[in-house]
Amino acid sequence: MLHFITDPKDPKLDFVKDDPVRPEIPVEFRVGKDRFVASIGDETPLAMVCVNLLNYVPSAVEELGEAVEEVNTAVFYTIWSYAPGAGRELLMQTVAQIKERFPTITRFVTLSPKTEMAKRFHTKNGATTFRENSESVNYEYPNNK
């Protein structure tokens, strides 16, 4: 089952300590206006992803969280899983739910580390390289309406 975590007191946020991609980002930052964590699984998550809704494609972590008037871009800035295939399933379910809940979102991008694992994961799941930055890569997923 897909869960959007928006409450900073949600006990599932304890699992953020396991984030291998962006462990330096505090839990408090991950939920707020236009920011949430999505997970699949019941009590114990099978996978988690952190999302920031913006109106641009950030090139660095420091550009996340900026307040914007109208959002049109979902930025997946970290994802990890505890079970094989769960990351892919979470990503697909999260995209579908964002399309339903946030009709102004027309772009789905990542702010990924420059690793072969990130590249394999995103390209295998249908994304293409949008832009390579000094310390990250933005992959873009098609918005098949």
Rounded CA separation 9/27 (Å): 10
Number of domains in the chain: 1
pLDDT computed for residue 42 by the predictor: 87
Q: Model-level pTM greater than 0.85? A: yes
Per-residue pLDDT of the chain (145 residues; tens, 9 = 90+): 999 999 999 999 999 999 999 999 999 999 998 999 999 998 899 999 999 999 999 999 999 987 788 999 999 999 999 999 999 999 999 999 999 999 999 999 999 999 999 999 999 999 999 999 999 999 999 986 5
Kindly report the CATH number assigned to the domain that includes residue 47. 3.40.630.150
The one-letter amino acid at 111: L
Backbone angles phi, psi at 85, to 5 degrees: 80, -10
pLDDT computed for residue 145 by the predictor: 55
Residue whose structure tokens are 């869960």: 3
Range of the domain at 132: 2-141
The terminus-to-terminus CA distance of the chain in angstroms comes to 22
pLDDT computed for residue 27 by the predictor: 94
